[in-house]
């Protein structure tokens, strides 16, 4: 230890410098905290509604879009398909959509706003596999029903309104996401009309 007299001026300088450095350290740690606290643009985008051009979807065609990391199907149904929906009511678990798997404006016979379009989350309500769309060969799964969705994981079956058939593991109809039509060619998925995202 040195016997040199204490240099008061130097000690004061060191104390001040340490305080300043400490202050900078605090500021530096505060910034990341604030950043992680407020939702990032990426996170906002991940939950944002999706606008889809539906003008080019052909009869019987299914297109997939992603909303909140989930596949959402948009299928253009023919008049014949829409009419035939009522023919299988007695083979479905929840034909009238009594379970809350859709918004109120899709709680109807076609589970849709516009009967010609089925818009549904393409995730099986059993354990979350994505069912396969069988536009022409569904009758191999359910006799007399030409088109529908078949889940390859454990064999659940859904009709062209996403309603689940009886005697399969899936307990509920497919989910209909919130949506509205911006105009005849465009649908907004993931938000109700008049609601901001
Ligand atoms: S996950 Fe679809 S039947 Fe099991």
**pLDDT (mean) for 27-53:** 65
Mean pLDDT, the chain, integer: 85
pLDDT greater than 70 at residue 161: yes
Atom of ligand 1 nearest to the CA of 127: 1
Q: Closest ligand 1 atom, CA of 168?
A: 3
**How far apart (Å, rounded) are the C-alpha atoms in residues 180 and 6?**
78
Residue 179 annotated among the catalytic residues of the structure: no
Please give the distance, rounded to the nearest whole angstrom, from the Cα atom of residue 126 to the centre of ligand 1.
Answer: 5
* Site to substitute for ligand 1 among 151, 157, 164, 172, most atoms within 8 A of C-beta: 151
CA separation for the pair 18, 22 (Å, rounded): 6
User: Catalytic: which of 154, 166, 167, 171?
Assistant: 154
Residue 18's H or E segment, with its range, is helix 8-37
E strand or H helix at 84? helix 79-84
Secondary structure (DSSP) of 22-78: HHHHHHHHHHHHHHHHSPPHHHHHHHS-EEEE-TTPPTT-EEEEEETTEEEEEEE--
> Which tens digits make up the pLDDT trace of 75-132?
999 999 999 999 999 999 999 999 999 999 999 999 999 999 999 999 999 999 999 9
Ligand 1 atom 3 nearest Cα: 154
What is the value of pTM for the model shown?
A: 0.78
- 115, with CB counted inside 10 A (0-12, 13-18, 19+), is middle
């Amino acid at each position: 230890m040195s016997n040199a007299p204490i240099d008061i001026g130097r000690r004061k300088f060191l104390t001040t410098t340490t305080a300043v450095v400490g202050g900078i350290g605090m500021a530096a740690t505060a910034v990341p905290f604030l950043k992680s606290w407020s939702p990032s643009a990426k996170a906002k985008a991940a939950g944002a509604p999706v606008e889809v051009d539906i003008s080019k979807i052909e009869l019987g065609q299914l297109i997939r879009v992603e909303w909140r990391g989930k596949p959402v199907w948009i299928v253009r149904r023919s008049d014949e398909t829409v009419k035939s929906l009522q023919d299988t009511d007695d083979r479905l678990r929840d034909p009238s959509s009594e379970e809350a798997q859709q918004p109120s404006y899709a709680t109807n016979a076609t589970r849709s706003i516009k009967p010609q379009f089925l818009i549904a989350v393409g995730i099986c309500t059993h354990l979350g596999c994505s069912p396969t769309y069988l536009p022409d060969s569904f009758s191999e799964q359910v006799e007399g029903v030409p088109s529908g969705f078949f889940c390859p994981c454990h064999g659940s079956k859904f009709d062209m309104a996403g309603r689940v058939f009886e005697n399969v593991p899936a307990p509920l109809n497919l989910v209909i996401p919130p949506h509205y039509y911006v105009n005849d060619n465009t649908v907004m998925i993931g938000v109700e009309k008049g609601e901001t995202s």
